[in-house]
Amino acid sequence: MRALTYHGTRDVRVDTVPDPVLQHAEDILLRVTATAICGSDLHLYRGKVPGMESGDILGHEFMGVVEEVGSGVKALKRGDRVVVPFVIACGDCYFCERTLFAACETTNPGRGAILNRKQVRSGAGMFGYTHLYGGYAGGQAEYVRVPMGNTGPLKIPDTLNDAQVLFLSDILPTGYQAVLNAEVGPGRTVAIFGAGPVGLMAAACARLLGAERIFMVDHHPYRLKFAQDHYGVEAMNFDDEHDVSQAIVEATNYRGVDASIDAVGFEAKGSAVETVLTTLKIEGSSGATLRHAIACTRRGGIVSVPGVYAGFIHGFMFGDAFDKGLSFRMGQTHVQKHMPELLRLIGEGALKPELIVSHHLDLEQAVRGYEMFDKKQDDCRKVVLTPGGPVAAAAPETALQSQAPLS
Ligand code: NAD
Ligand code: ZN
Ligand code: ZN
């Protein structure tokens, strides 16, 4: 089959590789009909995450049609159309029973050993996300083996097309969990850092849940404009605004927002010193966004962090966070927990995640897709890849209604 494979920093290729086969009773084999490139894939593409091996198949946002099922799969049959969560969870361990699926302790047993930590119980395995997360082959491919067929894949009604539901695999639940963690609701104010796909999904969910004001910070005008037009955010460009957190504090009567969401993560653009320190790996992550999030959040407020972090950060301002009595909530998304509710909201037309797609490409063009998404070329917001080429031409954006009527 054809698949997008990793060969080194900024070196991905569409190769011919062996077809996957069923390995366990609960596996299914999926024929992929649509798969997306995620900001998390960019961390791998840029060589920032350890544990990648040459030839690894990338991709953790995908959906398709069930081709084969293992003898232990009761929830699905051949021919079912499903979206697959990026988190691989067993459904019945200590954490899965508490719906903390990203903490599943059975699907990535080797992690503690790889990190050379003692006695650590690992979190869940993930598709296409390094050998630290289990070394599972990803779904930017024609076919993929999906473990835990009874727990993960969600059946999709024929009334919804691929683009409408594909983001149930990751970014939509991630944005949703971020706003739930931030306790966004009517009368509440929120600042979202990062207008990438995750930030945009968070803005969509914040709007849906009735947020009073949504501030959004980035430095790509085309992304900020999209968020303004579709989700009514108050956009702030950090290239133009000397101190974005101070500007947010001033705009909220010197109190700060009820919550902030860091949808950027460890590669946040910060000072030159920070860039040097992270490049030399003296610093694990850039603390640029977290500092602004702490600074713009009101006393007793919440900092919600869906953006991925690694290692340590020196300039964390824990003293400020303590003084303000902030709460921090973060982590990988418990995708399985949120999927059914979000599918319902898509079905009702309350959420239209497909609006953010800017590029529909053939899987064969995946290398170009990575390049555009990485360099933010051609106003790239989100790339969807289709093995065999896009089935239906994407509807022009102007013909689609914006998700929520803006007043
Ligand atoms: P993306 O790279 O497309 O978007 C990130 C955006 O942040 C870009 O538009 C960039 O310009 C902006 N940015 C950079 N520095 C900034 C700063 N200092 N202040 C404000 N904005 C800044 O990526 P994405 O797909 O939107 O993903 C965002 C993050 O979410 C990544 O770290 C990704 O790994 C993570 N993620 C986490 C989960 C999870 O389960 N928690 C799931 C999916 C993605
Ligand atoms: Zn992702
Ligand atoms: Zn589990």
Cα(97)–Cα(90) distance, integer angstroms: 10
pLDDT band of 272, cuts 50, 70, 90: confident
Ligand 1: which of 166, 192, 198 to mutate, judged by most atoms within 8 Å of the beta carbon? Answer: 198
Amino acid present at 379: D
Return the biggest CA–CA distance within the chain.
61
For residue 275, the CA-to-ligand 2 centroid distance in Å is 24
Ligand 1: which of 37, 40, 60 to mutate, judged by most atoms within 8 Å of the beta carbon? Answer: 40
How many percent of the chain have pLDDT more than 90?
83
Per-residue pLDDT at 40? 97
SS3 146: strand
Residue 218 CA: nearest ligand 1 atom is 21
Domain assignments of the chain as residue spans, ordered by start: 2-169+333-401, 174-330
Distances (CA, A) of 399 to 156, 270, 382, 393: 24, 38, 18, 13
SS3 193: strand
Which residue is closest in CA terms to ligand 1's atom 34? 40
Residues in the chain: 407
Which residue is closest in CA terms to ligand 1's atom 27? 39
DSSP state of 49: S
Per-residue pLDDT at 121? 67
Report pLDDT digits (tens) over 194-216: 999 999 999 999 999 999 999 99
Whether ligand 1 lies within 6 angstroms of the CB of 277 is answered as: no
SS3 363: helix
Q: What is the mean pLDDT of residues 386-400?
A: 57
Report pLDDT digits (tens) over 319-351: 999 999 999 999 999 999 999 999 999 999 999
For residue 317, the CA-to-ligand 1 centroid distance in Å is 21
Per-residue pLDDT at 382? 98
Residue 102 CA: nearest ligand 1 atom is 40
Cα(142)–Cα(20) distance, integer angstroms: 10
The lowest-confidence range among 8-12, 71-75, 110-114, 307-311 is 110-114
SS3 407: coil
SS3 350: coil
Amino acid present at 303: V
Instruction: Give this prediction's pTM.
Output: 0.94
Report pLDDT digits (tens) over 350-391: 999 999 999 999 999 999 999 999 999 999 999 999 998 775
- Report which of 230, 172, 202 is spatially closest to residue 402, judged by C-alpha positions: 230
Fold exhibited by the domain 2-169+333-401:
Quinone Oxidoreductase; Chain A, domain 1 (3.90.180)
pLDDT band of 274, cuts 50, 70, 90: confident
pLDDT band of 122, cuts 50, 70, 90: confident
DSSP state of 394: P
Distances (CA, A) of 173 to 111, 122, 244: 24, 22, 27
Superfamily of domain 174-330: NAD(P)-binding Rossmann-like Domain (3.40.50.720)
The secondary structure of 53-96 as a DSSP string is -TTPBP--EEEEEEEEE-TT--S--TT-EEEE-SEE--SSSHHH
Whether ligand 1 lies within 6 angstroms of the CB of 198 is answered as: yes
Is 292 exposed, middle or buried (CB count within 10 Å of its CB: 0-12, 13-18, 19+)?
A: buried
Per-residue pLDDT at 120? 60
Say yes or no to pLDDT of 241 above 70. Answer: yes
**Beta strands 257-262 and 87-88, pairing class:** unpaired
For residue 106, the CA-to-ligand 3 centroid distance in Å is 5
Which residue is closest in CA terms to ligand 1's atom 35? 307
Is 16 exposed, middle or buried (CB count within 10 Å of its CB: 0-12, 13-18, 19+)?
A: exposed
Per-residue pLDDT at 356? 98
CA 142, 25, 60, 181 torsion-angle sign: positive
Report pLDDT digits (tens) over 26-73: 999 999 999 999 999 999 999 999 899 999 999 999 999 999 999 999
Contact 88, 127 (CB under 8 A): yes
